[in-house]
Amino acid sequence: MLSADQARLAAKLSKAFGPAGPNSGALVYDLTAKQTLFALRPGVGRPPASVEKLYTTVALLSQLGPDARLTTRVVGDGHLGPGGVWHGDLYLVGGGDPTFGDGAFNRAWEQGYGPTANQLVAQLVHAGIKRVTGWVIGDAALFDGLRGGPATGYAPDVPDFGGQLSALAYDHGSTFKQLTPGAFAAKELVLTMHGAGIGARPLNRTLAAPPVAVPLASVQSPPLSVMLKLMDVPSDDFFAEMLTKQLGVRFGSSGSIAAGASVISKTIGSFGLNPVIVDGSGLSRLDRSSPGEVVALLRTMWDTPIGRVLSASLPVVGLTGTVQNIAAHTFAQGRCIAKTGTLNYVTNLAGYCTASDHHVLAFALMIDGPGNWTAIQMLDRMVPAIARY
């Protein structure tokens, strides 16, 4: 028999879901009391949108660990001669770091995180290089050459990604005219070299560095735990697919989204969950997950080492990131952390709330059908009801 509090919550959520239609669903689970508080079609799979990033985050933490870093290198094919002249070519080798770029860009867009071309050039200066007789060449061979995700048939998707995917990306996958992201990165490195007094010229295409090339400089990304915050708080699709390709390189068949998605699927499957995962961002409508699967993941991760890093990566309802304006100035503000998921006519929210009795609740609210603005107004009623339980 339902308690008075459970009945009250169920009544509020049922009423709030009234206008949502038959394609929506939800599950709310009390982690402290170990009981389901509300369920509405919890087993029906639907597009998770960016709630998909919960799976991506857990897979990355499971496979790489929170302290993993990605390396961008400069290697040389040639030798250093008298007067600081490098006889041969230099290669800027991408390691799939989504944070590599210009310091000013990173301060504006990446909260100041991310290695810079200036750091690489400082090491080249320290090595005594003053001029390069050959080319400075971008090496983007770690990943495939597809610039977008499955939602656009892998064509560039700058509106969603904010840039183009590449193993060598600079300033969030920026390009210039006909330059690929990797060639653009090499061009930016050369401009930075010029500023330090090193004569060099960029090649306008990418090539793989030869195995005999010698290491000259390297920089590392922030740890994965930081990159996950940069991904999850603003729901950054570029980060999600770059890191998905990283999983494909290290634990799958190739540096592709498909290979990385397969790694995510296998990792999540090890927890007994089988959502349909075709990308890391959730942009594809072919992704399928149910509220029950999402809550099961949250239940499994709660109060584990991976779960604590996952929780720290999520934005705070009413205060930060994509949930800054959801349930703002309500009882839920500051009491809930959650991942949004938004496509046209798909509006999802999943995460944790600390209820008024200090119980921790895991929830997944998946609204499929109403317009996004209408659905957000529904969430503005649902999330406070959960937090007040």
Tell me: the pLDDT tens digits for 251-283? Answer: 999 999 999 999 999 999 999 999 999 999 999
Instruction: Indicate whether 63 pLDDT > 90.
Output: yes
pLDDT at 3: 87
**Which 3 state secondary structure label does DSSP give 63?**
helix
pLDDT at 379: 97
Q: Residue 18 pairs with which residues in a beta bridge? A: none
Q: What is the pLDDT of residues 336-361, one digit of tens each?
A: 999 999 999 999 999 999 998 899 99
| % of residues, the chain, pLDDT over 70 | 100
> 49 is written with which tokens?
């949108």
- The domain covering 71-222 belongs, at the CATH homologous superfamily level, to D-Ala-D-Ala carboxypeptidase C, peptidase S13 (3.50.80.20)
Per CATH, the number for 4-65+226-387 is 3.40.710.10
- Looking at the chain, the domain(s) classified CATH 3.40.710.10 span 4-65+226-387
The span from the CA of 128 to the CA of 84, in Å, is 5
pLDDT, average across residues 234-261: 98
pLDDT at 52: 98
Is the model's pTM score more than 0.95? yes
pLDDT at 2: 73
pLDDT at 122: 98
What DSSP string describes 211-262? TTPEEEEEEEPPPHHHHHHHHHTTT-HHHHHHHHHHHHHHHSSSSSHHHHHH
pLDDT at 335: 97
- Kindly state the DSSP code that residue 331 receives in the 8-state scheme: T
Looking at this protein, which amino acid is placed at residue 152? T
pLDDT, average across residues 173-179: 96
- Looking at the chain, the domain(s) classified CATH 3.50.80.20 span 71-222
The span from the CA of 222 to the CA of 70, in Å, is 8
Instruction: Indicate whether 5 pLDDT > 90.
Output: no
The span from the CA of 347 to the CA of 326, in Å, is 12
Q: What is the pLDDT of residues 193-218, one digit of tens each?
A: 999 999 999 999 999 999 999 999 99
Burial of 337 (0-12, 13-18, 19+ CB in 10 A): buried
Instruction: Indicate whether 106 pLDDT > 80.
Output: yes
> 317 is written with which tokens?
């309802």
